[in-house]
Structure 1
């Protein structure tokens, strides 16, 4: 029978983690993805469950002079209702609000949504667009990693053995920034995304595009950016942007596949349309 460990502090969790057998432990917090996977996937030989749900350091939200620091154990319900998140990072409040139903949001954590590493994760595009950094704790201390470097492959992350995601850092956006978030699914709610997109676009006073970042879900093996699209837009003027060029750059950036939820052709078409919509309708 597997052992269940529930540390009360981050240091205790890291000490326990350092002693656990490699590949034979499972991290759990809200459990909304892990427990489903246990039922639907081939059973793993788990010797120890490490439950992080009782660690207060993982449940804090702190607004600083540079932005916001969100503990990895903060629930999606807390984020969707947090007044500072709603005011300064509205795309995160929006993505948290469409991640499953209310009971899921009450248990699911932002850190869990990222570490589960689903290419269809609802909050991943937002953190990519916002240029978030991850605070990762391990036996050698903590390190900050740009979120865009976190996903290494399908369901693979940059977390090393005996490391834990501790917090997510998102900077304040400069004046002139606009945001756009959209999740396209089979239904209006409680659906896995066919395409998910978040856009942060920074305009100058004359509608010149200074920064354009697009985070995508469900169009590749990992959540991803659109670097060719960004390169085309940045330094360009809104009136000079061509929809045909957007489509060309999107096709260069992503190579989606057909699956049970959608087709590659549909995903390319929808992504191109949403990028075009984002640069004109973001607010």
Structure 2
């Protein structure tokens, strides 16, 4: 077995310099995804260990937004008072990511970078219109999360970039947000289907909506057909319009966790309830 080089940067500047010099090295945060498959992948040429890098896990909330350092753990996300109050779906998703041990190690940046179609937080980031800050020696660029996932576990992250922060704007007072996961059991299960929505009301009708689902495609996705179909409808009528629009909008697959038919039926029920339950 060959040896692997290892570096543990002390700040973001050092981390991006290492990344530029060694783009083939593995980025390691909490390790909760990468270590699961460690015995089934080639030994990396090197490791850049970002775990607990100073400043990487800072969470800063204002009336306008919350900025979450990529190194923030799910426990830190789910227990942050401002996130619980204003961005509740993210806190709810964080509570469903594995057991407490996983929540204490797994990071929001790792979940985003791993880009699994069953990543519990990812539909929330889509529905809440998150933006990513990507850092490199070339500078910083900002990418809407809706443009970040490009395929199955593929992203827009360049070989020399590191995810620095995730920023989520505060919902308007007229916006209702929600998140729901369906799995094999009530806790510690990989999702069969999960989804999130941000629904803005005006005078008792839907003014706009962002609806996102996971585990129904090769990546987490926004459902544009639903978002256009529900505008101008009451929540009750929007529920049926959402269900109808979804029927031809997704093509889930059969796998070891669920059948395509089951996923489709559950997803229809899920999006309908996002709207029918909006005033409850």
Give the whole-Å Cα distance in 2 for the aligned partners of 1:242 and 1:142.
40
Please list, as runs of the form range in 1=range in 2, the aligned pairs for 1:169-208 lying within 5 A after superposition.
Answer: 169-204=167-202, 206-208=203-205
| Post-superposition offset of 1:218 | 0.5
Question: What does 1:21-100 correspond to in 2, within 5 Å?
Answer: 22-23=23-24, 25-39=25-39, 41=40, 43-100=41-98
Counterpart-to-counterpart distance in 1, 2:278 and 2:110: 28
Indicate if the aligned counterparts of 1:200 and 1:213 stay in contact, CA closer than 8 A. Answer: yes
1:6 to 5, 8, 15: 8
User: Which residue of the partner structure matches residue 234 of structure 2?
Assistant: 237
Q: Does structure 2 conserve the Cα–Cα contact (< 8 Å) formed by 1:180 and 1:281?
A: no
**Consecutive unaligned residues in structure 2, runs of 5 or more:** none
- Cα drift, residue 255 of structure 1: 0.8
The match for 1:277 is 273
Is 2:239–2:273's contact at 8 Å kept on the other side of the alignment?
Answer: no
Residue 257 of structure 2 aligns to a residue whose secondary structure is coil
State the match for 2:21 in structure 1.
19
Match of 1:241, SS? helix
The correspondence of residues 138-157 of structure 1 with structure 2, limited to 5 A, is: 138-157=136-155
CA RMSD of aligned residues (A): 1.3
Deviation of the 1:37 alpha carbon: 1.4
* Cα contact 2:133–2:165 (8 A) shared by 1: yes
1:54 to partner: Cα distance: 3.6
Contact kept? 2:177, 2:199, Cα under 8 Å: yes
Distance 1:125 1:223 in 2: 6
TM-score (norm 1): 0.95
C-alpha distance in 1 between matches for 2:115 and 2:220: 8
Give the one of 242, 245, 256 matched to 1:246: 242
- Aligned-pair distance for 1:241? 3.2
Name the residue aligned to 1:264. Answer: 260
Equivalences, count: 277
- Residue 239 of structure 2 contacts residue 271 of structure 2 at CA under 8 Å; is this kept in 1? no
Q: Please give the alpha-carbon distance, in whole angstroms, between the structure 1 residues aligned to 2:236 and 2:90.
A: 29
* Secondary structure of 2:55 counterpart: helix
Matched residues in 2 for 1:54 and 1:97: separation?
Answer: 20
Q: Tell me, which stretches of 5 or more residues in structure 1 are unaligned?
A: none
